[in-house]
Every structure is written in structure tokens, then in C-alpha cells.
Structure 1
Amino acid sequence: MKPAYRVRLVVNALNLSTALGLLLAVTATRRSGGPRLHSAGDGLLVAGGYRPPVPVASAFTVGNVIILRGDAADLPARPRLLRHEARHSTQYAWCLGVVMIPLYLACAGVSMALCGDWASFNPFERLAGLADGGYDRRPLHPFRWGRR
């Protein structure tokens, strides 16, 4: 494992974001007896079978844990999505862990106001690679107060 990934692993363990990701994986997946975690390499874990309706994404990351709606074993066949989610894991290390969640939500709200899409103008998604995450970049829409 590269030294940068070791640092990410340790920082996300210390800032408790990986612990939160594991808690989500255990409580919100379909498997009886908890999730089946797979290693994705570079210190990342993958859990499948996420059930709650929020977030709407097919995959999301909390700390070093990638959580999927589908089967966790399918992620290696989608290397671009894996790279995108790995970048989010690194963002948790940069943003002091769970502090990233309110920052991400605020940026998603601004993006929604600017273009009607959660990702296009969200710096976290842009830095993770919009196309790698399966997002199309939408154009900026000017605010239209009182006009339809």
C-alpha cells in the first residue's frame, strides 16, 4: 500500500469517519448478521445492500468504507466508480472526518440551487471526478426570482 493510502487509513480511523461508515454498513444493509465487507485495496472496504432511500446515489463513501446499493462484489468491475469513491475517502481525511458530511450537504445544496443537480457545482464531486462517479455536468442556470 502506498504511504499516502496508509496516512488516509490512519487519519480516517482517528477522525472516526471510518467507524461511522462501518456503523452505517452494519445497520443499513440487507444481510442478516450484518454486512459482508470486501476489501477494495488501498485500505478501502466495500459493503453492499444499502437500503435507506437517502442518499439517492448508487454508491457513497464514509471514511474508508464504500457503501453500495447493489452487491459489493460488483465494484471491482467498475474501476472508474471505485476511483471516484476512493477520492471521497481521501476527502474525509482532508476535511477532518465527519465534518465533511455537513460541508458536502451545504455544497450539494448550492449546486442544486445553481443548476438543479446535486453534483455539477459541488466541489467534492468535481474533485472526485464527475464522469467517474457517473454524473453529467449540467450548465449553470441563472436565478429566476418570480419568473416562470
Structure 2
Amino acid sequence: MPRMLLGGIGIAWTLPNTLLGLVAGAAGLAFGARPRLDRRACALVFQRWPWGPGGAMTLGNVILHTGDTLDVACTTYAHRAGICEDPMIVLGEHERAHVFQYMALGPLFLPLYLACGGISVRNRFERAADRYAHSGRGWWPWPA
């Protein structure tokens, strides 16, 4: 199946999640958030999103980011937890992996993500996104 067709199916499949992201992103517009299309990530990025502790969060094909650019270095979840000494990763690549996860799992993503531990180093979705940010491969959270 051609890649564009699969991408279109993934975008449609995760539309309920994307709508949540669009509502959250639109709410931030009045407080300084600025939307930008990121074709490589298949996502609409709301930069300077005004809420949260910092960093980024993905909802379907929407990335909510508190900073000015996703092209910033950050540590992995495992590194922050003191489990290992990982090299820095690019935040945008980590979030792009989450977009792909959403496109594959659609409305199942959020319940599975929460069942796997939410925002933590134990979460296989976060470890896979870190792996993808390191290597450009391996965004799928379960072994093949």
C-alpha cells in the first residue's frame, strides 16, 4: 500500500485524538501559542503553548510545545531517572515518534499509553520514542 495512503488512513484513524489537540492548541492561541505545520512529523505544532511544566505533549497529529522550537536537545526518560547515561536526543524526533504511534493505534493510543504507566520511564511508549529519537527507527512500542 502506498505510503501516502497509509498516512491518510493513520490521520483519519487518530482524528478523535487530533481534535483534542486542536481544541487545546486553539485555547492557547489567545495566550501566545503559535501554530506551525511540521510536514516531516505529520503534525500541527503549537509553539509557545502557555501551560504545563515545559517540554511537549502530543495528541494525535498535534504537538503542544511550550518552547519556540522542537529542535532542542533534551535528555531521555531513562537518563533523567538515573538508569543510564544516554546521549541527548532532539525533542522534535521524540514527539514525531508519538505522532506515528498515534497514527498506528488511533483511539486506542491514550488508554494503552495510560495503562503502560503514563509519563514515566517505565512506559514502553516513552522508551520507544526515545529509541526513535536516537536512531530514527523503532517507534513501535512492542518488539516485532
* TM tier relative to shorter chain: 0.5 to 0.7
How far does residue 38 in structure 1 lie from its aligned partner after superposition? 0.9
2:106 equivalent in structure 1:
96
Q: Name the residue aligned to 1:7.
A: 6
Q: CA deviation at 1:58?
A: 1.2
Unmatched tracts of structure 2, length 5 or more:
74-88, 135-144
Q: Which is bigger in relative contact order (C-alpha 8 A, separation at least 6)?
A: 2
Query: Out of 58, 63, 68, which is 1:61 matched to?
Result: 58
Match of 1:26 in 2: 26
Number of residue pairs matched? 116
Output the CA distance in 1 between the equivalents of 2:132 and 2:97.
13
Normalising by structure 1, report the TM-score. 0.62
Aligned CA distance change for structure 1 residues 95 and 4 (closer, same or farther; 3 Å): same
Identity of aligned residues (%): 33
Q: Which runs of 5+ in 1 are unaligned?
A: 110-117, 134-148
Contact persistence 1:8–1:90 (CA under 8 A): no
Q: TM-score, normalised by structure 2?
A: 0.64
| Matched AA of 1:119 | S
CA RMSD of aligned residues (A): 2.9
- Contact 1:107–1:123 (CA<8 Å) still a contact in 2? yes
Deviation at 1:75, TM superposition (A): 1.8
Check the 8 A contact 1:40/1:76 in 2, yes or no: no
